[in-house]
C-alpha cells in the first residue's frame, strides 16, 4: 500500500510572504514645511535651478548685447541668435502649456 504524502511543510519548505507595499517616502523641500515624494522634490529642484540659470543667462546676454556696438554684430549672427532664442522660447512655451494643462491634485 502506498503512503500518502503529508500536506505539512517540511523544515526546508517555507511559505513565501508577499512583500509589504511601500508607502511613499516623503522628502522635505528646502525652505518649507511641506513634505513631498522624492520625484516631486527632484522636479521642483530642477525648475528652481532652471529659473536660476535662465535668469543669470538673460542678464549676461543682455549685458553683452548692450555693451556691443550694433555695427559689430553681423546680420547673419543676429539672425542666428534670434533663431536660437526663439527655439528656446518655443520649448519653454511647450513646457509651460504641458504643466498648465495637467490636472492638479487639489482639484
Of the candidates 16, 4, 44, the one whose C-alpha atom is nearest the C-alpha of residue 28 is: 44
% of the chain surpassing 70 pLDDT: 68
Confidence of residue 17 (pLDDT cuts 50, 70, 90): confident
Q: So what's the pLDDT on residue 2? A: 66
Radius of gyration of the chain measured on its C-alpha atoms? 29
Return the pLDDT at 72.
Answer: 94
Report the alpha-carbon distance of residue 92 to residue 86 in Å, rounded: 10
Q: Are 32 and 41 in contact (CB under 8 A)?
A: no
pLDDT at 50 > cutoff 80: yes
Asked whether residue 44 carries a pLDDT value surpassing 70, the answer given is: yes
What number is the average pLDDT over the span 55-79? 94
Residues 26 and 36: their CA atoms lie apart, in Å, by: 5
- Interatomic CA distance for residues 60 and 52, integer angstroms: 12
The pLDDT-based confidence of 107 (bands split at 50, 70, 90) is very low
Amino acid at each position: 500500500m502506498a503512503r500518502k504524502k503529508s500536506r505539512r511543510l517540511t523544515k526546508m519548505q517555507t511559505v513565501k510572504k508577499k512583500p509589504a507595499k511601500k508607502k511613499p517616502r516623503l522628502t522635505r523641500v528646502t525652505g518649507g514645511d511641506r513634505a513631498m515624494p522624492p520625484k516631486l522634490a527632484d522636479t521642483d529642484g530642477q525648475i528652481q535651478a532652471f529659473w536660476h540659470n535662465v535668469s543669470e543667462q538673460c542678464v549676461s546676454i543682455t549685458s553683452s548685447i548692450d555693451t556691443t556696438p550694433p555695427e559689430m554684430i553681423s546680420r547673419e549672427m543676429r539672425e542666428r541668435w534670434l533663431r536660437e532664442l526663439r527655439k528656446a522660447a518655443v520649448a519653454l512655451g511647450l513646457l509651460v502649456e504641458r504643466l498648465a494643462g495637467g490636472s492638479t491634485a487639489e482639484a
